[in-house]
Chains A and B, each alone.
Chain A
Amino acid sequence: MAKEFNVPPVVFPSSTGGNTSTIGPNQTGTHQRRIPTFTPPFQPSNPNPTQHLPFMSFDVGSATASSSFSAPVFSTGNGYSTGMGGGPGSFEDELPLLEELGINTRQIWRKMRSILNPLKVNPNLHADADLSGPFLFLMAFGLFQLLAGKLHFGIILGWVVVAALFLYVVFNMLAGRDGNLDLYRCVSLVGYCMLPIVIFSALALFVPQGGVAVFILGAIFVIWATRVCTRLVVELASCGDEHRGLIAYACFLIYTLFSLLVIF
């Protein structure tokens, strides 16, 4: 039995058909909430009236009562909770959250597609580094390993960090004074080029373990990953050209290490 609260019923002045809906204290109200016709029950006192805070600037009344929830689009998610007296509004907060975190899913998808082509590499896409794509790939890698019965999430994350540090040290030492590969971009590149290994771990679920096929597949995917990683590193950081073979060997070691996790 729901607990009774002594809360006066909230009356929403409604413009649809003239019927007012009163939401009593026991109703959840999420389904009955008519966002487009809602006006906030109070205006929070603005301590600094000259400063126009952006979060109350949305015009709720102009939004159409359609099924799309694009109406309550606002610049920060904070203003919503102070304005509404209703529920927590979880799915209204979801829309700007990804963008606030800087996870640009379209960019991740574009970068992923560029890695999928082993022969042609587009380095301009990877010029701005991000860590959310690699994180996604590593979680997928861990998931496929889990499906194979191995719990490797922490190991994968730790090994990626160590491998990126290794590549960072080797590249900057080889390139000399002009080397400008920073650690953030290095982790991003190593993580993105992990995609072939993730695909390999998915395919290895269907191939008999210990057979020759696993090793051959592994070799193909490791060489693919090495190729892409070397090309990206050499083209994105300066002074990498004359050390291409040396960097390629370092990348090869890194991806062979991860393929060991998949094969054995």
Chain B
Amino acid sequence: MRIPSSNPQAQQSFANPFNGAGSGIIRSGLGAYGERFLGSSSEFMQSNVSKYFSDPQYYFQVNDHYVWNKLKVVLFPFLHRGHWTRIAEPVGGSLAYKPPIHDINAPDLYIPLMAFGSYVVITGFSLGLFGKFSPEALSLQFTKGLAGWLMQIILLKGFLYSLGRESPLLDIVSYAGYAFTGMSIAVMAKIFWSYSYYFIMPWVCLCTGVFLVKTMRRVLFSGPRSYEHASRCHYLLLFIAAAQFPLFFWLCNMSNT
């Protein structure tokens, strides 16, 4: 069978129009979907996502400085010298909270998302070191982490609902996701030295508990104050802090998966 030796000159002259035509065909073939997903991406995100949530753009206005300091606040909440209230500024007649860049106490979604990703990757690592890694196990860990996040959201939302306060859903998602930073640190410490698990884990649970309690107190008292349910409020806050322990132990325990 004769193998055609391609004539490079002939190929060169036809390369450019084919290239354009080929990609044009593929692009136009995608049709309506092409315009939607391959076109202006930022506008697509803005218009569609903000219908269901409260402007997720607000939660991503972060920079390196904010991220670093917020991590310090989440992991060592008792070292935070300043106050815990969010700074509000009058915008268009009503009060709006300042974005995370300007306010260390504002919730953001970048850290929880990254912490969740780190949690999945680090638990994958530790699964591998125990010899139990498989892509299915990693997907299982991912789902487990999502379930834990959801449980945390339900806990916080239930807490606020029982005390009659409202808060935007994404705020709660963000506060719930901060727990994953501690979890990632705990699992990473376990990889390097297995005995560290026994003191880093309670420490991290405690820190997340304290952080959540302080934040929830601020969320509770940000509106009109009512002292009727003071004792119920305190018991529920204590319950939130105590509930971190089983949650962390369930999510970070690798030996039974």
Which bracket fits the contact residues of A? 35 or more
**Residue B253 interfacial (CB < 8 Å):** no
Q: Tell me the residues in window 103-145 of chain B with beta carbons closer than 8 Å to chain A beta carbons.
A: 109-110, 113-114, 117-118, 120-121, 124-125, 127-128, 133, 135, 138
Is the contact region of chain B dominated by helix, strand, or loop, or is it mixed?
helix
Complex Cα distance, B135 from A257, in Å, reads: 10
On whether the beta carbons of B42 and A180 are closer than 8 Å, the reply is yes
8 Å CB contact of A99 from B14, B45, B135: B14
Complex Cα distance, B161 from A175, in Å, reads: 34
A104 in contact with B19 given A176-B61, A253-B114 (CB within 8 Å): yes
Cβ contacts under 8 Å, A96 to chain B:
14, 18
Cβ contacts under 8 Å, A177 to chain B:
42, 46, 57
On whether the beta carbons of B26 and A181 are closer than 8 Å, the reply is no
B38-77 contact mask (Cβ, 8 Å, vs A): 1 or 0: 1111100110000000001101111110010000000000
17 contacts between A and B (CB under 8 A): A67-B2, A73-B14, A91-B3, A96-B18, A99-B18, A166-B117, A169-B45, A173-B45, A173-B57, A177-B42, A177-B46, A180-B41, A182-B38, A183-B38, A253-B114, A253-B117, A253-B118
On whether the beta carbons of B41 and A101 are closer than 8 Å, the reply is no
8 Å CB contact of A260 from B10, B45, B128: B128
On whether the beta carbons of A260 and B125 are closer than 8 Å, the reply is yes
Residue of B nearest to A102 (CB): B22
**Residue A263 interfacial (CB < 8 Å):** yes
B174-211 contact mask (Cβ, 8 Å, vs A): 1 or 0: 00000000000000000000000000000000000000
On whether the beta carbons of A130 and B63 are closer than 8 Å, the reply is no
On whether the beta carbons of A155 and B42 are closer than 8 Å, the reply is no
8 Å CB contact of A246 from B110, B117, B125, B128: B110
